[in-house]
Amino acid sequence: MRKVAVIGVGQSKFGELWDASFRDIVLSAGIEAIEDAGLEGREIEALYIGNMSGGRFLAQEHIAALIADYSGLAELHIPCTRVEGADASGGMALRQAYLAVASGLHDIVIAAGAEKVTDVGDKAMEILSSGVDREWEVFNGATLASLFAMMARLHMDEYGTRAEDLAMVSVKNHRNAVKNPKAQFRREISIDIALNSPYVAEPLRMFDCAPVSDGAAAVILASEEVARKYTDTPVFIEASSQASDYIALHSRRDITTMDAVVFAAREAYKKAGIEPDDIDVAEVHDSFTIAEIIAYEDLGFAEKGKGAELIREGVTELDGDIPVNPSGGLKACGHAAGATGVRQAVEIVLQLRGDAGERQVDAERGLTLNIGGTGATAVVTIFTR
Amino acid sequence: MLPRFWRKIKQRYNLIATKCENCGTYYYPPRNLCPKCRRKSKMVEVRLSGKGEVLSYSVVHDVPENMKEQKPYVVALIKLDEGPVITSQLVCEPREVRRGMKVKAAFRRCGEEGEAGIIYYCTKFIPE
Amino acid sequence: MKGGESKGGKIGIVSYGTYIPVYRIKAEEIARIWGEDGETISKGLGIKQKSIPALDEDTATIAVEAAREAVSRAGIDAKEIDAVYVGSESHPYAVKPTATIVGEAIGAGNDYFAADLEFACKAGTAGIQICFAMAKAGMIRYGLAIGADTSQGAPGDPLEYSASAGGAAYIIGRKNVVAEIEATLSFTSDTPDFWRREGQPYPRHGGRFTGQPAYFRHITSAARKIMEETGLKPSDFAYAVFHQPNGKFPTRVAKMLGFSKEQISPGLVVPYIGNTYSGSSLLGLAATLDVVKAEDRILLVSFGSGAGSDAFVIKATDAIEELNRKPGVWEKIEKGIYVDYGMYVKLRRKIRMA
């Protein structure tokens, strides 16, 4: 397998983008990436796009064809593929693109992720719940938030994680997002505000839950040899791994652990020949604050049950030992389902290049963790300079 | 939704599980294939007792449209006596729920396809 | 009308089950909203409070819970139940039977007779007569007859104080009979004392017309006829159960027929749970069966508007002492969660939603 590098990144603003259609936001991210890479566009040999539910949000399937059409790639008749894995769609699309280049099949490939959720009004939450078990979780009364809430309840009872710890994750991510011009929410909040916000599904409150956002992101991958023609600062994908687990929370081995994350992370570290300690910065899937704390543990940054200590001790702040979610994460940057996994990659690449502006951290190696639903899919990607 | 709901009426009304006779594991919701045994699966139908205890729970405030009347309601992960863990609405006062609480099956309405559509009945749980 | 006397072996009740939803509202609370005097109303109707179904309960769920209890107590395989009849005036569907929902929920299989019945408050006892006849004819091993309702009363109407929710299920057969049905007959006439037109949300009634020409005429006619045909007198009965639209009518008709307060007392549930319509006399019967001893006789006379009364002479056998009769009806009556009128109208969906 060849070494694969990122030669261009692009991202739309995340949020309620009333003026922009799905086609508009995908294109804006794609063009930004192409310009960043210094390409004309015809160099691209394949497209992979992560999109969770064009069918229900837009009554549109065949998303890859639509985007290929709008971006001019259909003119070139290149292969375009939509990848779906709930809100891991973006990370999965990135992985497919990586495999296409690493295997030698293609030299330059674009991986994108996009979701337009605000055209369906208040149906968005119900549509997002299609990432969990419709027959036996949703039909029986579970909402996505309530599933993470049940994980949180157990984590709090078993390991002493507190509501304050969850609030601190939210506070950190909001503070980071102030420095991210593309983020949806760019105002700091206090622990008090978080702890007094209305309950969504106890014990999770409004500030424990990522919003439902429109957004798109794109990265352009190239083989090492080709990359060096376009950039002096390629960022390499050192490892890419993906794992699955039972779709329903009730089928999992341990409700407070996402085995898919543990598995994927272990694989990725092994492929890269590193330890969790070697990660300098990470973008993890904080669809709910508890997911970030569990991620600390499942990624090996902390022992099982001790995730809360990292946030309490400031270890994952921008100025901490391992900054997590410098972009603001899903909570403050916004969570655009299929786009998120690619947006995370964009952030890590910017960080490793030194292009992260006010939220720049000192890092040589970064990691992204993108999760589908309550952990049935996990994609871990490790980037290095 | 009609045929899809109808297909599982037996399993929803009565907690009809499947058991893999190869490894002895009970599955509810029922499975056609034992994930542990895969090709060696030998699945048979078994009716569960309907007894269990609360493994975890959440009081839902941000409720889906079809549950608006019941806000706030309790959803729980319930460990059934025979082994499987299921997700179910727990019909009780939100302040009553405790982890480890003993619960039992009850026959309730779970929804409807609008005022003129069919009514979904299923098993929910209540305190023992 | 000939009394159906059983020859050659006892036919009767093999088991029974009941279900009463837990929510309650006091008559005073309803009176408060409508500017009436709670104590006066309560005393006048002989009703202190009534039962209310939860938002996810209806006649089908109540029927299932009662039926499951009956099946469990009987200790039989539900596949031996060869007939299911559910009587109600608040079936969840106008077209699509409750009986098949019950049949599926108890695991009756596919080989059973089934239909829903409507005859106002006596649809449940009509089901018992049908099962009795089928058992007598040797067509069925066991029959399941259920009376259950989640009746509605129009806001501000006197019926709002009494219309409540609950049900009882009876397994009828020839084996292990705990209470023999010695005789049964019906007195029927076309008397529109209380009715509901198709599509209307609330029933209407004839006010005082529901008394003498309806309730009293049919109950006394049926009761007297069955006592005449069986040669029995009130003193031959340990207990009597009459349909309970309120707390006054059954007491008065008992007196008219020569029964004492003590005889009707165990079965007089209406002051505490209201009128459960098709469940009414059957819950009264269940509460009475909870306490009978072997050889005790019960006179059961139901009444359904429209109108008719089904009368039964029931005699407990030795086997009643072996039947698990707990939790009893009065124990369930005591388990109440009280709500105010606002919660009541929400639970009963009397609020016009968007």
- Helix/strand/coil for A306: coil
Counting as contact any 3 or more CB pairs under 8 A, the partners of B are A, C
Q: Which of residues 107-166 of C touch B (CB under 8 A)?
A: 107
Q: Which of residues 57-76 of C touch B (CB under 8 A)?
A: 57-58, 60-61, 64-65, 68
Do residue C69 and residue C215 come from a single domain?
Answer: no
Q: Which of residues 7-46 of A touch B (CB under 8 A)?
A: none
The torsion angles phi and psi of B91, rounded to 5 degrees, stand at: -90, 100
Mean pLDDT of chain C, nearest integer: 95
- The answer to the question of residue C314 being in a domain is yes
- The answer to the question of residue C333 being in a domain is no
Fold of A4-122+213-235: Peroxisomal Thiolase; Chain A, domain 1 (3.40.47)
Q: How far apart are the first and last CA of chain C?
A: 52
- CB contacts of B10 in chain C (<8 Å) are 104
pLDDT of residue C7: 52
Do residue C164 and residue C38 come from a single domain?
Answer: yes
Do residue C241 and residue C169 come from a single domain?
Answer: no
Facing B121 at nearest CB: one of C55, C60, C96: C60
pLDDT of residue C353: 82
- The answer to the question of residue C185 being in a domain is yes
Report the chain C residue with the minimal C-alpha distance to residue B11: C105
How far apart (Å, rounded) are the C-alpha atoms in residues B15 and B21? 18
Report the chain B residue with the minimal C-alpha distance to residue C64: B107
Q: What is the DSSP string of C27-84?
A: HHHHHHHHT--HHHHHHHHT--EEEE--TT--HHHHHHHHHHHHHHHHT--GGGEEEE
- Model pTM? 0.93
Q: Do B58 and A150 touch (CB under 8 A)?
A: yes
Facing A201 at nearest CB: one of B61, B110, B111: B61
Report the chain A residue with the minimal C-alpha distance to residue B74: A141
> Residue C143: which CATH number?
3.40.47.10
Inspect the structure and tell me whether chains B and A have 3 or more CB pairs less than 8 Å apart.
yes
Fold of A127-209+238-384: Peroxisomal Thiolase; Chain A, domain 1 (3.40.47)
Domain positions in chain A are 4-122+213-235, 127-209+238-384
**Close Cβ partners of C110 (under 8 Å, ≥ 6 residues apart):** none
Residue C161 has pLDDT above 50, yes or no: yes
pLDDT tens for each residue of C195-238:
999 989 889 988 888 899 999 999 999 999 999 999 999 999 99
- The answer to the question of residue C4 being in a domain is no
Residue C2 has pLDDT above 80, yes or no: no
Residue A324 is classified by DSSP as B
- The answer to the question of residue C38 being in a domain is yes
Tally the domains of chain C: 2
**Close Cβ partners of A260 (under 8 Å, ≥ 6 residues apart):** A243, A244, A245, A371, A375, A376, A377, A378
Q: What is the DSSP string of A276-292?
A: GGG--EEE---SBHHHH
- The alpha-carbon gap from A278 to the nearest alpha carbon of chain B, in Å, equals 35
Burial of residue C14 (CB within 10 Å: 0-12, 13-18, 19+) is buried
- The alpha-carbon gap from B108 to the nearest alpha carbon of chain C, in Å, equals 5
Catalytic residues of C: 89, 121, 243
Inspect the structure and tell me whether chains C and A have 3 or more CB pairs less than 8 Å apart.
no
**Close Cβ partners of A222 (under 8 Å, ≥ 6 residues apart):** A4, A5, A7, A101, A107, A108, A109, A230, A234
pLDDT tens for each residue of A13-33:
999 999 999 999 999 999 999
Mutate to test the interface with B, among C22, C52, C56, C146 (most CBs of B within 10 A): C56
- The answer to the question of residue C353 being in a domain is no
pLDDT by residue, tens only, chain A of 385 residues: 899 999 999 999 999 999 999 999 999 999 999 999 999 999 999 999 999 999 999 999 999 999 999 999 999 999 999 999 999 999 999 999 999 999 999 999 999 999 999 999 889 989 999 999 999 999 999 999 999 999 999 999 999 999 999 999 999 999 999 999 999 999 999 999 999 999 999 999 999 999 999 999 999 999 999 999 999 889 999 999 999 999 999 999 999 999 999 999 999 999 999 999 999 999 999 999 999 999 999 999 999 999 999 999 999 999 999 999 999 999 999 999 999 999 999 999 999 999 999 999 999 999 999 999 999 999 999 999 9
How far apart (Å, rounded) are the C-alpha atoms in residues C348 and A86? 39
Fold of B2-15+49-127: OB fold (Dihydrolipoamide Acetyltransferase, E2P) (2.40.50)
Tokens 């424990």 correspond to what residue?
Answer: A208
The interface predicted TM-score of the complex, written ipTM, equals: 0.96
Q: Six-digit token pair at A89?
A: 């769609």
Range of the domain at C18: 12-178+341-347
Q: Do B107 and C68 touch (CB under 8 A)?
A: yes
Report the chain C residue with the minimal C-alpha distance to residue B107: C61
Q: Do B109 and C58 touch (CB under 8 A)?
A: yes
- The answer to the question of residue C96 being in a domain is yes
pLDDT tens for each residue of C263-298:
999 999 999 999 999 999 999 999 999 999 999 999
Q: Which of residues 76-105 of C touch B (CB under 8 A)?
A: 92-93, 96, 101, 104-105
Interface membership of A1 toward B (CB under 8 Å): no
